[in-house]
Structure 1
Amino acid sequence: MKRAILTLALLATGNVVAQPIYCSGKISSVYIQSDGNVNINGTWRNSWTSICNTKGSDPITCSLWASYAASAVQNNLKVTVSYNLPAGSSCASLETYGNAPKPTYFMIHNPSM
């Protein structure tokens, strides 16, 4: 009986397939909250999404991403933020603020290339 329940549980969760989603565009603004959340307003969402937390489990990466975001705003550069999300997800449907998923990477594009 326990084995059947475990098998059903695995089958039910096995149907959710994560795929990479690449959100590209410019960032109009970036801010950091007192709780450490780094929030960006990207053209792909036109709303605020949290990309990381400077007080979270990886403060070094988050601090670097915050500086990348600030540089992208200051220099009007295009960025790409990648996420692993369930099939059918889109950049326009990302959750907002702290409910946003954690990105897998943050890239700044070279404007001369």
Structure 2
Amino acid sequence: MMEAKILLVGRSTEVMSILSAELKKFERDVVYANSEELVKEKLEENEIDFVVVGAGLPDETRKGMEQMIQALFPKLPIYMIERTPDGNPAKMIGFTNEKAVMWKVEKVLGSTLNSR
């Protein structure tokens, strides 16, 4: 089965690089960005299936990213990781993996439902 193409958005490219490498161990197809300019570039260069926005960015930046992505690609799913007291960058791995699995399930159910 095909893997989703995932765009991770976070504050630090160094941290995003580590998270991307860890997600690739799960065979996830990941690109990442840390600015509106890079997000736009990645969205235009790749066929992204969904976006995961980390909790490390300031609220204003997160909201701006979400609005910009919605304006460019209105149907593209965007998942915002909630801020929690025990939050850390590693939590993005489990969150993203869960979203990737659910993307696959929706693809299978959607194609099954459409073929009836």
TM norm structure 1: 0.29
Structure possessing the higher radius of gyration over alpha carbons: 1
More helix by share: 2
Could you say which structure has the higher strand fraction?
A: 1
**How does the TM-score come out when normalised to structure 2?**
0.28
